Amino acid sequence: MMIYTSILPLLIGHRGIPEFAPENTIIGAIIAKQMNIDCIEVDVMLCKDKNVVIHHDFDLKRSVGKSGMINDFNYSELEKFKIINKFEFESLDTINIPKMKDMILKCKQINLTLNVEIKCENNDLMVANIICKQIRKYGNPQKIVVSSFNVHVLKLAKKIIPSYERNYIVNKIPDNWLNMMYELDCTSIIVSYEHNSFEEIKDIIKYGFPVYVFTINDVEIYKKFNLIGVGVFSDKPYTLKKYF
């Protein structure tokens, strides 16, 4: 049996380091690095003028408190919106939605590994095409991993950026997951702890692929996964890191 390896560490900041900074922001990446977190996950999508931006939701309500969708606005409009700041740092008052290019360049500067989750609606591969080509232009395959729930996105990524590690994200582990891993030529599988039991997740380790779980914020659950070599995405990577 072939054993696969990933450039991802066993602890990844989910959308940055949300326990200390607004999610999916460059300041979050900087703070994560300052706190010795080696890797963060960010979400990417396109806005109206085809700029690639870092943002999780397709709508703006939760992040900036405004109505509308990301793809309703050009980036020149989006960058004027303040991200809702729940942290008592004066320097965070003007944090806005970043471009992916700027996030990649900042992480390259500070030597932080990125897991980039590509998000697109309705199998819009034009979106994935633009995102992959920008990753190819600015990124480094030793420091960036591409992931997605969308198998069509992963197939396209294999063609455009074949040297970049690709990871398959699922909620419930599907019966055909192993066939999909081979078909997509993925390195790792990322699964939801909410939709799978510990035993179900443990069981798929035997096939030789690195396994990661989202989203783990409980110390005891983190310890259980760490002991069997399963990586976790966490909103509290600094808190969990203290235990291993």
pLDDT in tens, 119-154: 987 778 999 999 999 999 999 999 999 999 999 999
pLDDT in tens, 12-40: 999 999 999 999 999 999 999 999 999 99
Average pLDDT over residues 90-105: 83
Mean pLDDT score of the chain: 94
Residues 146 and 196: their CA atoms lie apart, in Å, by: 23
Angle at 160 between CA 159 and CA 166, to 5 degrees: 75
Confidence label for 88 from pLDDT (cuts 50, 70 and 90): low
Average pLDDT over residues 51-67: 96
Looking only at Cα atoms, what is the longest distance across the chain? 53
Residue 92 has pLDDT above 70, yes or no: no
For 11-241, the fitting CATH number among 1.10.3720.10, 3.30.390.50, 3.40.1080.10, 3.20.20.190 is 3.20.20.190
- Name which residue leads in pLDDT, 239 or 2: 239
Q: Residue ranges per domain, the chain?
A: 11-241
Q: What is the pLDDT of residue 193?
A: 98
Closest CA to 229 of 244, 242, 219: 244
Q: What is the pLDDT of residue 243?
A: 81
Residue holding tokens 């779980």?
A: 213
Confidence label for 114 from pLDDT (cuts 50, 70 and 90): very high
pLDDT in tens, 172-225: 999 999 999 999 999 999 999 999 999 999 999 999 999 999 999 999 999 999
Q: What is the pLDDT of residue 90?
A: 55
Q: What is the pLDDT of residue 85?
A: 79
Residues 176 and 14: their CA atoms lie apart, in Å, by: 26
> Which amino acid is it at 71?
N
